[in-house]
Amino acid sequence: MVPKSQAALKQSYAPVVKKAVPAVVNVYVSRRVSQRVSPFMNDPFFQRFFRDFGMPRERVQNSLGSGVIVGDEGIVVTNNHVIEGSGEAEITVALSDGREFPAEIILKDDRTDLAVLRLDAKGEKFRSVAFADSDSLQVGDIVLAIGDPFGVGQTVTSGIVSALARTQVGISDYQFFIQTDAAINPGNSGGALIDMDGHLVGINTAIFSKSGGSHGIGFAIPSNMVRLVVKAALEGGTVRRPWLGASLQPVTSQLADTLGLKSPRGALVNEINAAGPGAKAGLQVGDVVLSVDGMAVKDPQALQYRLVTKGIGGTATLGVMRDGRAQDVTLKLVPAAEVPPRNEKLLEGRTPLTGAKVANLSPAVAEELDLANEGPGVVVMDVTRGTVAARVACGRAIS
């Protein structure tokens, strides 16, 4: 459509950017690492002999990402992979105006690839960005990505929402992403994806690229998931996830015909825990879950996301197809049960598993370790280095 006025020709994203930019920050992680350097390494002749020997030295290893201030008291959300391995590292957050503040981690959640930081700001108030409802997004909506790609400085790129509910991306345990063609590059991780109201709709997380640069396929964690993780951090706990108590599988085209569905969609219940909330709600093996509180579910990953973002407490209405007939099931949103108690124990004595710390496998432990098997059995939680058990991977369930 041809602009009809001079004002229309001068339309700009500047007011939106001006509103959101002060809340987007750079996150620097500095860690000291040891390396062995031979005193003869400057001599080409001795380099051949002393390549793997020498005195240990320390060097500072830096990594860079982006973050978003979501609380005026200095609460910052970023990607977990931005600050991963930062147990003994220094984290510094740089604001858009150049000021820098040390930050502490108050929550890390690798399953969502999100982390929440608190700035050491001595009571100072910061410009923050408000959360939008990511469920209200539509394909074609205009969005802006703000971050620090390649460390060149704060950068704004524009695009549209290319797709919603991307679940086969392989980035985190909760596969449900906003796809955008706004340019996202290395260093943008943890930065903001904002709407035309200047509100946060997602945290930029990954790109699909064979070269490492932007090909117009970027992914962001929806703000409704981000809001849940931030809430958990501020309440001083961990992210608590509702327990379904059922094993699910995708509905293929062949299964759709058998189940009387017009298209392959939903999550098929193929196993159910008789003591779980799903069974108590009336779910049965063979049911296909098609929606959660009216929001469509296209596969098990989407169902998992919908339940997680509901949080603990209250109920959710599952739209189910059973024997070709649609019906609703009311599910209580409760955490996974720790029955039997985990009773962690370090195995000692003359056994093949000496040095292994094991625990009873319960639904709560299975959820914590992202295991499909909810028990009975035991699971290896940790191993002591140098023992026979060290050859067995942690998190392995033993029936």
For residues 178 and 159, give the distance between their C-alpha atoms in angstroms, rounded to a whole number.
Answer: 12
Q: Which residue among 63, 66, 81, 172 is the active-site one?
A: 81
For residues 42 and 31, give the distance between their C-alpha atoms in angstroms, rounded to a whole number.
Answer: 26
For residues 319 and 300, give the distance between their C-alpha atoms in angstroms, rounded to a whole number.
Answer: 14
- Tokens representing 102 are 């040390």
For residues 92 and 3, give the distance between their C-alpha atoms in angstroms, rounded to a whole number.
Answer: 45
For residues 10 and 390, give the distance between their C-alpha atoms in angstroms, rounded to a whole number.
Answer: 65
Class of residue 17 by CB neighbours under 10 A (exposed 0-12, middle 13-18, buried 19+): middle
**Which residues, in sequence order, are bridge partners of residue 57?**
35
> Residue 280, SS3?
helix
- Tokens representing 259 are 């189940």
Instruction: Give yes or no for a contact between 82 and 22, defined as CB atoms under 8 angstroms apart.
Output: no
Determine the residue type at 384. Answer: T
Q: Does residue 189 have an active-site annotation?
A: yes
- Tokens 């931030």, located at residue: 230
- Tokens representing 185 are 């590059």
Q: Which residue among 113, 148, 181, 299 is the active-site one?
A: 113
| Residue 215 assigned as binding residue | no
Q: Which residue among 66, 189, 223, 291 is the active-site one?
A: 189
* DSSP assignment of 34-66: EEEE-TTTTSHHHHTTSTT--EEEEEEEEEEEE
| Residue 189 assigned as binding residue | yes
Instruction: Give yes or no for a contact between 74 and 102, defined as CB atoms under 8 angstroms apart.
Output: no
> Which helix (H) or strand (E) covers residue 278, if one does?
helix 277-281
Q: Does residue 81 have an active-site annotation?
A: yes
Instruction: Give the dihedral of Cα atoms 273, 332, 319, 243; nearest 10 deg.
Output: -50
- Tokens 């964690």, located at residue: 221
| Residue 266 assigned as binding residue | no
Determine the residue type at 51. Answer: R
For residues 338 and 334, give the distance between their C-alpha atoms in angstroms, rounded to a whole number.
Answer: 12
Q: What are phi and psi of 186, to 5 degrees?
A: -50, 135
Angle, CA of 48, 49 and 55, to the nearest 5°:
115
| Residue 187 assigned as binding residue | yes
Annotated binding site for substrate: 81, 113, 187-189
- Catalytic positions: 81, 113, 189
Annotated binding site: 81, 113, 187-189
